[in-house]
A and B are shown apart, each in its own frame.
Chain A
Amino acid sequence: MRHVISAIVENKSGVLSHIAGLFSSRGFNIDSLTVGRTENPALSRMTIVVAGDDAILEQVRKQLGKVIDVIKVSDFAGKDIVQREQALIKVGCNNENRQQVVALVEVFEGKVVDISPGDMMVELSGPEAKVDAFVEMMRPYGIREMVRTGLVAMARGG
């Protein structure tokens, strides 16, 4: 099972390494971890995707809560959330198939951000599954390079 957890942390040096260290020393598997600024300049928000059963999820949540620089931990299990991931993908193409690739990019509501004779760079954002699906569609053309940001998420409503 994969779970999405969000942690509001103090925006201080050392917090990221602390949390990364916590995950490795406790043997938790992180699928992705993102950190970024929030509406409050003193705080950052981490979105962590972990793999494991409910008992592991509970430990992850509690262990995060125990870190003094972590202010709040929310577990998105069963909640209505918006989740997004962004990807930059450099895919091979030539004069013959360029139009096919562009058409697929349009279907996925992506954007071509750079183009050269042998490849193009595509930017795509959306739920993880959508990014996964697009990546699969691009494979036959040859993915030269890819970077995904990892997930960010927010609960809907108040």
Chain B
Amino acid sequence: MATKGAQILVDSLINEGVEHIFGYPGGSVLPLFDVLYDAPVKFYLTRHEQGAAHAADGYARSSGRVGVCIATSGPGATNLTTGIATANMDSVPMVAITGQVKTNLIGNDAFQEADVTGITRPITKHNYLVKDIRDLARVIKEAFHIASTGRPGPVVVDVPVDITTSELEGEPDRTMHLPGYKPVTEGHSRQIKSAAAAINESLRPVLYVGGGVITAGAHEEVRKLAEAANVPVTMTLMGLGAFPGDHRLSLGMLGMHGTAAANYAVTESDLIIAVGARFDDRVTGRVDSFAPSAKVIHIDIDPTSISKNVRAHIPVVGDAKSILTEMLPLVTHSAREAWHTQIEDWKRKHPLNYNGNGGRIKPQSVIQQLCKMAPQDAIIATEVGQNQMWTALWYTFRRPRTLISSGGLGTMGFGFPAALGAQVAWPDRCVVDIAGDGSIQMNIQELGTAVQYKLPVKIVILNNGCLGMVRQWQELFYKHRYSQTILCATPDFVKLADAYGATGYRITDPGEVGDALQKTLRTPGPVILDVHVEQEENVFPMVPAGQAINRMIGGMA
């Protein structure tokens, strides 16, 4: 029996358990879409391929499953790239399938040809150009395996149209052949023992937790370790939710917009226990002043992350969950009274704060009130900029996979389509995108997708009439010269929502915030809540780029 390549491809996806696909059609994927027409998968037609990539990403981040997106050759594939790079920076498991021109036209500048494997090489975990139909089923299997194991990441499979139209006799071979791919999972026992000993000896330890903990499903183990050894915990943006933000041991986020307690604790610490975090420059600030008197334990699945930015004294390569499980019985409880008193003192003296006075709505208060109102399992996506940092600081994340945010790449326009993907993964949960008026306009067209598929995502726009985060930098470091950061001709978001068949509300008065949020959360279907907030509000505390992280400015009581 002969099977068409397109059929083999779709069968392979179903074989991997794929139920939802995001994408956009075009010439080189016509055969594929013809098979998808009656395949047992639910397809979500986005309004732009970037939306499809972010939706697949949000689906993956919120569920832990591999997100899948499909685009045509040339412009379809290049439109995916921002989404692929976003997923790559945040280690999100994703398989992106792109059409390609016919095999014999590759390299001829054919219509809608782009060198997709060349373009995506630096922004993927791996990529393939399938040149032989006999490789197709195996490549799809390998793509899912690579995307979802080790340090996860996006894999691109570029499939020329003639591969999908040609036929293969007999059962396709799915046997994986990956001699060069052996992700380490078990940590080294001796390293785990020395890490535990270092924790037991430490007077001023800090757990520094990143997104890797969420990926590894090691949040319970982190909590147990923190409690067992009595160690305070700080989180990166990607790590929010890996440890309950309202736990007595939580210091909140660290780094450029970290809390004072977190940044002081790290600076004074004698032992940093990094788990699934990579010492990004937004976290460390000036590297030579980062935790200057601390030993560093670094637990990570990716050996290249270790000693890349900050030297690790005790590196432990492997899966965080298995390493922490092995470490738990080896740590002892210690009071560390002086350390905890010091931390409490910092927390008391320098809590997060903002000036709630004045006639305008304060964006921080919107997040605070949303946090009180939204169900415990609500999924909060963000765009990028002040909206993202206010969410990180003022929303208390208690569970893993409840914050969906572009950390590594900082992609404006990510939040809304990612929220749609999360809603597809969790149809019954409350999903909110906290946006800025700049970012939301980068993928606003996905309102069509939300309405078509009845995805009831709520968008809360913190509308400050400007590209707030950039404006903040211009205010602080460029003498208030607001070059190209004041947004004009912004559409009426209420009318816009209406035009798409969604619901829109607008508020301008601080007294309306609570009711408007209630109404937004209760209204069925997609809703935009356009909140007109104080224009020149800043995100504080803040560490100027390249400074030591204990040199915070602003927002310090």
Contact = CB atoms under 8 A, between A and B. Distances in A.
Contact of A68 (B122, B126, B129, B302): B126
Most interface-central of A9, A62, A67, A69 (chain B CB within 10 A): A62
Contact of B307 (A9, A55, A63, A67): A55
B180 A17 contact: no
Contacts of A10: 179-180
B181 A68 contact: yes
Interface residues of A, number: 21
A14 B117 contact: yes
A58 B307 contact: yes
B146 A66 contact: no
A24 to B, nearest CB: 9
Contacts of A69: 180
A71 interface: yes
Interface in A29-60: 55, 58-59
B303 interface: yes
Given A66-B302, A68-B126, A68-B181, A17 B307 contact: no
Nearest to B146: A68
Interface in B283-325: 302-304, 307-308
B491 interface: no
A106 to B, nearest CB: 45
Nearest to A73: B180
Interface residues of B, number: 17
B303 A62 contact: yes
A21 B122 contact: yes
A25 B85 CA distance: 14
Interface string A1-40: 0000000011000100110011001000000000000000
A21 B117 CA distance: 12
A17 B118 contact: yes
A65 interface: yes
A152 interface: no
A63 B304 contact: yes
A70 B180 contact: yes
A13 B557 CA distance: 60
A21 B121 CA distance: 8
B121 A17 contact: yes
Interface in B136-176: 146
Interface in B110-124: 117-118, 121-122
A71 B180 CA distance: 4
Contacts of A22: 122
Contacts of B180: 9-10, 67-72
A41 B129 CA distance: 21
A72 B179 CA distance: 9
B138 to A, nearest CB: 13
A55 B307 CA distance: 8
B121 A59 contact: no
Nearest to B306: A62
Contacts of A72: 180
Contacts of B125: 68
A21 B302 CA distance: 20
A47 B301 CA distance: 27
Contacts of B338: none
B488 interface: no
B178 interface: yes
A68 B124 CA distance: 11
Interface in B494-516: none
A9 B117 CA distance: 18
B304 A68 contact: no
B179 A65 contact: no
Interface string B64-88: 0000000000000000000000000
A29 to B, nearest CB: 17
Contacts of A55: 307
Interface string B204-244: 00000000000000000000000000000000000000000
A66 B118 CA distance: 18
17 contacts: A9-B180, A10-B180, A14-B117, A14-B121, A17-B121, A18-B121, A21-B122, A25-B122, A55-B307, A59-B304, A59-B308, A62-B303, A62-B304, A65-B303, A66-B303, A69-B180, A70-B180
A-B pairs, top 8 by smallest CB distance, nearest first, are A71-B180, A62-B304, A68-B126, A62-B303, A68-B181, A25-B122, A70-B180, A71-B179
Given A22-B122, A68-B125, 12 more contacts: A14-B121, A14-B129, A17-B118, A17-B121, A18-B121, A21-B121, A21-B122, A55-B307, A59-B308, A62-B303, A68-B146, A71-B179
